[in-house]
Amino acid sequence: MSNIKIKICGISDIKTLNKVCELNIDYAGFIFFDDSIRNVNFKFIESIKNTQFTNTRPVCVFVNPSEDDVYKAKSFFNNPVLQFHGDESFEFCESFGCDYWKTIHIQSKNSLDLIDKYESADAFLLETHQDGLYGGTGKTFDWSLISDEIIESTNIVLSGGINLQNVDNAKSLTPWCLDINSSLESEPGIKDILLIEQMIEKIRL
């Protein structure tokens, strides 16, 4: 059985969240970014405040947020991870006293130099770079850019375009965690429970 952790991101409905918790998926990602079709509003977040996450840890995803945005979002959860997906500084990311992940948008091998600039990050999420976008591309980058040394020494969350067809290749890199989002949707922003179950089964083999 694989030891790779799993994050399902872009959760915006209670049915999906309940299934993620039922399956003991490691991380449930909630996107707090108005420009994303998967953005969650505080009415939804308020409605899930009594959810028993149990073995699933919430991840609050931000893109260049204000301090108030971060404090408000994290107040709805017990011990969330903060994921900074924009151009946030090291000082900003670590100022909230929470575990945090920093996203690196991969253009070339040099993109990975950012790892050294966020020494307090608990993990680094590697996403596909696309001009004008902060994520949600549904496209993979060149995974060969990730050295074995980085995989072995750093908690790498592999993201971007991972689907049922290429997830075995993603697993073979042995990242710390796989982040799955748009490939688990029946239409943009709408998660499909069957696809989630199929993906989890493949990853956990």
The pLDDT, as a whole number, for residue 150 is 97
Cα–Cα distance between 162 and 6 in angstroms, integer?
A: 12
The pLDDT, as a whole number, for residue 132 is 66
The pLDDT, as a whole number, for residue 107 is 93
What is the domain partition of the chain in residue ranges? 5-204
The pLDDT, as a whole number, for residue 42 is 80
The pLDDT, as a whole number, for residue 138 is 72
* Angular region, 97: left φ>0, alpha ψ -120 to 50, beta rest: left
The second-level CATH assignment, the architecture, of 5-204 is Alpha-Beta Barrel (3.20)
pLDDT of the chain, 205 residues: tens digit per residue: 789 999 999 999 999 999 999 999 999 999 999 999 999 988 899 899 889 999 999 999 999 999 999 999 999 999 999 999 999 999 999 999 999 999 999 999 999 999 999 999 999 999 998 876 666 667 899 999 999 999 999 999 999 999 999 999 999 999 999 999 999 999 999 999 999 999 999 999 8
**Cα maximum dimension of the chain:** 43
In contact, 7 and 25? CB cutoff 8 Å: yes
Cα–Cα distance between 166 and 194 in angstroms, integer?
A: 18
DSSP readout, 43-54? HHHHHTTT---T
In the chain, the amino acid numbered 105 is H
pTM of the model: 0.96
Cα–Cα distance between 160 and 91 in angstroms, integer?
A: 26
How remote is the C-alpha of 162 from its chain's centroid?
12
The pLDDT, as a whole number, for residue 134 is 67
